[in-house]
Chain A
Amino acid sequence: MNHRPITEDDLHAYVDHTLEPERRTEVATYLDEHPDVARRVGAFADQRELLRAALAPIADEPLPPELNLSRIIEQRARRPSLLRWAIAAMLFLSIGGIGGWTMRGALQTSPEGLVALAQEATASYNVYAPDHVRPVEVRASDSAELVQWVSDRLHRPVKVPDLAASGYRLMGGRLVATQHGPAAMFMYDDDHGSRLVVLTRPMASFDQNAPMTPQSQGDVGGFAWADDGVGYSLVGRAAPDSLKPIANEVRKQARSI
């Protein structure tokens, strides 16, 4: 006999009907020869059937209205999108005449949504990244304290992205002030003196959910996006091509909070 030995994993796969037919036959033969193991496997199979039968009726129940997917999609579409706000603002400007002219200044000086977020991240980068004395207020060695602090101030759990796999080491972070309230700033560097800033804060009314978009000001640039009311912006001086995968990584980690 030159069969591969039967493993415990094979037995479970046998119970779950996921074995290739050939292997299934081998396991069946083994079970014929080993009644004690067969008894155990049989008990697992009974268990599986019993659980499936006990839970099956739940999947047959009619769906309640709040689980109507078409309605959920519709409700989401009805929420004002950035585009609609932009159209509304343009109409307002063109109709409003002098009033609109006055508003123009207001709109220009205080951008909203992702644009504002990216500007805040860039401003933080410009101020803190070149700082050789105290670029961060709480160092990476005290990251638990940092997390506690910014989570308290942002009223939500904030996780510090781990960018070690991308070659960036956490230096630490601080709370920064923005037009839209406190934001958490985390700073990273690689071994070549290149620094990155990740800024996150709850979004005001604009861009509660927004796909990742490139943002740049001067030679500092990066990406901004928002998930479930929380905005993120990653900026640095590196090429956008090299920042994009890092931004994706930050987004992936943030979603697993």
Chain B
Amino acid sequence: MKDMLLQVEPLIPALRRYARALVRNRAAADDLVQDCLERAVSRWQQRSDGSVRAWLFAILHNLAVDQFRKLASRGRHVTIDETSEGHFGEAASQEHRLMYQDVLNKLAKLPEEQRSVLLLVAVEDLSYADAAKVLGVPVGTVMSRLSRARERLQQEVEGVTEAPGNVVPLRSVK
């Protein structure tokens, strides 16, 4: 268990960040991380070799997806935190806060599967292979989702919201 503490504890802040970016509600995200940690403790002996980081993100991701499904089937939504309440720390200037808020709002418009790939790869620094493990899909699917996520987010940023005709896909989409 000492071994587990050493390997898992340093990853908790990143798990929180991923959960928060996915569900956008502090309490709900921390509940997911807590669930994830409890499972990790109970399954530590049974984990297979490979990256502990990918293993933890996979547990967390599956819990988040389960929750999305349950919420969707009950037709309810987790309320989104008012992120203007100082979430971005003292250091960020007002202008930066607005920019950050804006990109997160735009990110939230992406389909869940694109959002998670982008977060795992671009923010959490998972390798493409590890991201594929977390999501339970082939690496090729990770790449195509990543590509779509980036194109889509860029369209949002540039304000091209409803013009599918103008968008020429740059790679074949699975």
Contacts and interface: CB of A to CB of B under 8 A. Distances in A.
A58 B17 contact: yes
A70 B5 contact: yes
Nearest to A13: B128
A86 B62 CA distance: 35
A47 B153 contact: yes
B112 interface: no
Interface stretch (A48-56, A120-128, A130-138, A142-150): A48-56
A57 B16 CA distance: 11
B13 A55 contact: no
Nearest to B92: A57
A159 B49 CA distance: 25
A209 B40 CA distance: 12
A256 B4 contact: no
Given A18-B127, A52-B123, A55-B21, A69 B37 contact: yes
A19 B30 CA distance: 34
A203 B170 CA distance: 52
Contacts of A77: 1
Interface residues of B, number: 52
Given A9-B143, A69-B37, A211 B118 contact: no
Contact of B37 (A51, A67, A255): A67
A59 B125 CA distance: 14
A104 interface: no
Given A8-B171, A18-B127, A73-B1, A51 B107 contact: yes
A1 interface: no
A245 to B, nearest CB: 13
Contacts of A52: 122-123
B100 A72 contact: no
A56 to B, nearest CB: 8
A47 B157 contact: yes
A12 interface: yes
B84 interface: no
Most buried by A among B4, B21, B103: B103
Interface string B138-155: 000001001100100110
A14 B4 CA distance: 34
B33 interface: yes
Contacts of B143: 8-9, 12
Contacts of B20: 55, 58
A70 B6 CA distance: 10
Given A12-B143, A54-B103, A67-B12, A47 B154 contact: yes
A211 B41 contact: no
B76 interface: no
A69 to B, nearest CB: 5
A76 B38 contact: yes
Most buried by A among B38, B46, B107, B119: B46
12 contacts: A47-B150, A47-B154, A48-B123, A54-B100, A54-B103, A56-B17, A59-B16, A63-B16, A66-B30, A67-B37, A72-B37, A76-B41
Given A67-B12, A69-B41, 11 more contacts: A8-B171, A9-B143, A16-B121, A47-B103, A47-B150, A51-B104, A57-B89, A67-B34, A209-B42, A211-B45, A227-B42
